[in-house]
Amino acid sequence: MMSLRFKLVFFAPKTHTAEILSMLFKHCPNVLGKIGQYQECAFITPGIGQFRPGPEAQPVTGEPGKLEHVEEDRVEIVVHDLGEKVQLKDAIRRLKEAHPYEEVAYDVYKLEDF
């Protein structure tokens, strides 16, 4: 069976990026961050995240109703999947478990070979 490749992009507070990546690579070593003969590959870009928690939110940072700005990282990692998206779904589940935010912002892109 041919494997598929995806790029998982997520946003995390700078204070938690290394911890999240460490956990993901520990639990998914043959699935996440492998590019050729290299392991634990990630691209990390700093930025500022903005959000306003709703009245029922329980934010880690800030308080409901108030606009918040947080130093965050945009993290990009490759996910190898056997074709049923089982590995991709597992990576996202583990991301949500390791992430400190109540709502995790992430994107998934399917990669093509050329």
Reported as a single tens digit per residue, the pLDDT across 24-53 is 999 998 899 999 999 999 999 999 999 999
What distances in angstroms separate CA 89 from CA 34, 54, 78, 85, one per listed residue?
A: 17, 27, 13, 6
User: Is residue 57 scored above 60 in pLDDT?
Assistant: yes
User: Is residue 2 scored above 90 in pLDDT?
Assistant: no
- Of residues 114 and 75, more confidence is placed in 75
Q: What are phi and psi of 101, to 5 degrees?
A: -75, 145
Q: What is the mean pLDDT of the chain?
A: 94
User: Is residue 1 scored above 70 in pLDDT?
Assistant: no
